[in-house]
């Protein structure tokens, strides 16, 4: 999911997700002739230690810089989201992946999780400048 939009202070993360999107799209077309299907699992936020690890690093590396205030705010918001109902339980993700693996009719993308579909929907219909203002409110 994070391969379809971006946010400040995490360009490295979003760039890697954009790369996975492009690689999956290319690979899907490339290996189709061999009967191989490539799908992209886009679960949105998942309850895990990832947010604390990433946000602790962000806070430490921004300490004493012009980014310190915004980094602290982003860390608080991100950790709050990953601890809330907006983040899916890992078991939900595992069940969804099993369902995809067991399916006979694979789709190119599987978008799921509490906030995944609304985020992508609004990113598709709203002007870029408005999304630039909205995304930081939820990150």
pLDDT attached to residue 63: 97
Q: Does some domain include residue 51?
A: yes
Q: Which residues of 95-117 are buried (b: 16+ CB within 10 A; e: fewer)?
A: ebeeeeeeeeeeeebbbbbbbbe
If one counts every other C-beta atom within 10 angstroms of the C-beta of residue 31, the result is 12
Q: Does some domain include residue 49?
A: yes
pLDDT attached to residue 122: 87
pLDDT attached to residue 2: 75
Angle at 87 between CA 81 and CA 93, to 5 degrees: 160
pLDDT attached to residue 132: 84
Measured distance CA(93)–CA(15) in Å, rounded: 22
Q: Does some domain include residue 35?
A: no
Q: Does some domain include residue 133?
A: yes
Residues of the chain with pLDDT under 70: 1, 137-139
Q: Does some domain include residue 85?
A: yes
Catalytic position from the list 13, 67, 82, 110: 13
pLDDT attached to residue 6: 76
Segment holding 42, helix H or strand E: strand 40-42
Structural domain boundaries, residue 78: 43-138
Q: Does some domain include residue 30?
A: no
Measured distance CA(101)–CA(61) in Å, rounded: 40
Count of domains forming the chain: 1
DSSP conformational letter for 89 = P
Q: Does some domain include residue 26?
A: no
Measured distance CA(72)–CA(76) in Å, rounded: 6
pLDDT attached to residue 117: 85
Measured distance CA(116)–CA(114) in Å, rounded: 6
Q: Does some domain include residue 67?
A: yes
DSSP conformational letter for 110 = E
The pTM assigned to this predicted structure is 0.78
Which of 54, 44, 120, 117 has its CA nearest to residue 84? 44
pLDDT attached to residue 139: 59
Has 13 been annotated as catalytic? yes
pLDDT attached to residue 1: 67
């Amino acid at each position: 999911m994070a391969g379809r939009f971006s946010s400040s202070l995490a360009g490295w993360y979003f760039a890697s997700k954009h790369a996975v999107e492009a690689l999956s799209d290319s690979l899907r077309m490339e290996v189709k002739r061999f009967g191989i299907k490539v799908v992209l699992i886009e679960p949105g936020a998942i309850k895990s230690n990832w947010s604390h690890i990433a946000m602790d690093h962000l806070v430490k590396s921004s300490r004493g810089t012009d980014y310190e205030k915004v980094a602290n705010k982003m860390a608080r918001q991100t950790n709050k989201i990953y601890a809330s109902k907006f983040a899916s339980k890992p078991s939900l993700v595992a069940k969804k992946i099993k369902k995809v693996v067991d399916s006979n009719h694979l789709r190119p993308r599987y978008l799921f999780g509490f906030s995944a579909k609304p985020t992508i929907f609004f990113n598709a219909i709203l002007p870029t400048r408005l999304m630039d203002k909205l995304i930081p409110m939820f990150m």
